[in-house]
Chains A and B, each alone.
Chain A
Amino acid sequence: MLCYNCGASLTEHDFCTNCGAEVGVYKKIMSSANLFYNEGLDRAGVRDLTGAITALRQCLKMNKNHVDARNLLGLVYFEMGEYVAALSEWVISKNLRPNKNIADDYLNMMQSNPSRLDTISQTIKKYNQALSYCYQGSYDLAIIQLKKVVSLNPKHVQGRQLLALLYLNNEQWEDARKELERCRKIDVNNTITLRYLKEADAVLDIEEDFSTPTKKKSITDTITYRRGNDTIIQPLNGKENKLPSTIINIVMGIIIGIAVACLLVLPARISAAGEESDAKIKEIGEQLDEKNSTINSLEQEKNSLTAKVEKLDNELATYTGEGGTISSMDNLLNAVMAYLSDPEDTSTVAGYLDLIDEGFVDTSTETFREVYYMIRTRIGGTVGSTYFEEGMHAYQNEQYDEAIENLSKAYAYDNTNVDALYNLANAYRKSGDNVNAIANYQTLVDNYPDTELATRAQSFLNELVVE
């Protein structure tokens, strides 16, 4: 404690040891201020905010420089929703003690959040507007505004009190009591709150006393009150016996959910899954058809290629195989070479010519045929005689197969050799080949009709035809 006159520290004496000023009363005033501060602190601690405000204001009346009391008063105002009053106290406190002052933090908290400051400003404006509506008699509009106020700032005690007063005026006792109970939670010993609450409780108690027993029971179970045009029925002891009903509700909910899933969701899901699988099957079927068609076309292609290969093989065989073009050409060339080397060596030339297929000669080129027949004509007489002799020798020895081979060649080289043809037919007949025998006899009869051999051939022909 400092001397009001010189600023020196005071001692236990009633005068200043520095300047001699009388400080007895001054010290008592300072002590009283501290007592009020302590009382205010105690009341704030038990949420007696109104009592705390009274005590702290008393303290500040004693000692305006009591920074702690001023800061606490600001906090109490803030808690009650009196923001401007709170700000005022903190600003003054900050001016009194610029450094190491907690008010600095409070002010920073307020100023650092512009949206919060805006909300506070809106709350104050709406409260003043509601009050204005009250003065004008527009109580419904005032209630609407005050509901907005308490939703923006649930700790706005004056707003709730005014709202409760309006409810009391409208005889909405339960609503009033609800608001007042909330006020009491913020400020437990507010005389206005307590007075209004007493009024509301008194009316509600009278209503309960006059209610019928059944009604009483229903009142104990529920609270019915009006909010605007709506009547709201709220269970009083809803929390009691809530657990079993909650469990039952959950179980029922699960059962209903499963039933709904089975009845509605599951078929839809099954149907969707079925459609999906159908679509997949269809897709797979289409792919299968496509692949089958590809396989068919490939098989057809393969068949056509195989046929082509076979055809080409055959063509190649006609060129390269035995009796083919190349072989026949070689044989003809060899025959020509042999003939040019030694025209007398007819057997060698004939050997080469015999290797050439008669069928091929007929289908070969004209040049080939000319060369073939020219060589054959040139050696034909000699070769034909040789084959005829060998054939007759075999015939006489009853070697008919060899006879047939040689006599055929003899007639082929010399088709004027009627004896060769006749004996060839006989050889066939004796070997049992009547068909070829008849054919050769018939050739003889047709080509040499007026000969003796033709007469004989005709008789054999008649015999064979009869057989």
Chain B
Amino acid sequence: MINFEEELKKFHPSLEIEEATDAIYNQDMTDMADLLVNLIREGKSADHPQESL
């Protein structure tokens, strides 16, 4: 049996056209490739720490 109140909570207001710009700017664009590259770079920096002068 469907719980109406619970089902209703699953519906969210749609973004209006005026809010599209914000939605685009706020979108999280990080992908797995970014994460991988960051991991690799962080790994490299850990293996070769910058020598202090």
**Interface on A for B, CB 8 Å cutoff?**
4-5, 21-22, 25-26, 29-30, 60-65, 82-85, 87-88, 91-92, 117, 120-121, 124-125, 127-128, 131-132, 134-135, 158, 161-162, 165, 168-169, 192, 195-196, 199
Contacts and interface: CB of A to CB of B under 8 A. Distances in A.
Interface in B22-39: 23-24, 27, 29-34, 36-37
Nearest to B29: A64
A121 B11 contact: no
B15 interface: yes
16 contacts: A4-B37, A5-B37, A21-B40, A25-B36, A60-B31, A63-B32, A64-B29, A84-B14, A84-B19, A124-B17, A132-B13, A158-B14, A165-B2, A165-B4, A165-B7, A196-B2
Interface residues of B, number: 27
A62 B32 contact: yes
B20 A63 contact: no
A87 B17 contact: yes
Contacts of A30: 33
Which 8 A-B pairs have CB atoms at the shortest separation, nearest pair first? A64-B31, A84-B15, A128-B13, A169-B4, A124-B14, A84-B20, A4-B37, A88-B24
Interface of B: 1-2, 4, 7-8, 10-17, 19-20, 23-24, 27, 29-34, 36-37, 40
A96 B8 CA distance: 37
Which secondary structure dominates chain A's binding surface?
helix
A64 B8 contact: no
Given A128-B14, A165-B4, A192-B10, A92 B24 contact: yes
A91 B31 contact: no
A210 B7 CA distance: 29
A310 B35 CA distance: 138
Contacts of A158: 11, 14
Given A63-B33, A161-B11, A196-B2, 16 more contacts: A29-B36, A30-B33, A62-B32, A64-B34, A84-B20, A85-B15, A85-B23, A87-B20, A92-B29, A120-B17, A121-B17, A125-B16, A128-B13, A131-B12, A165-B4, A192-B10
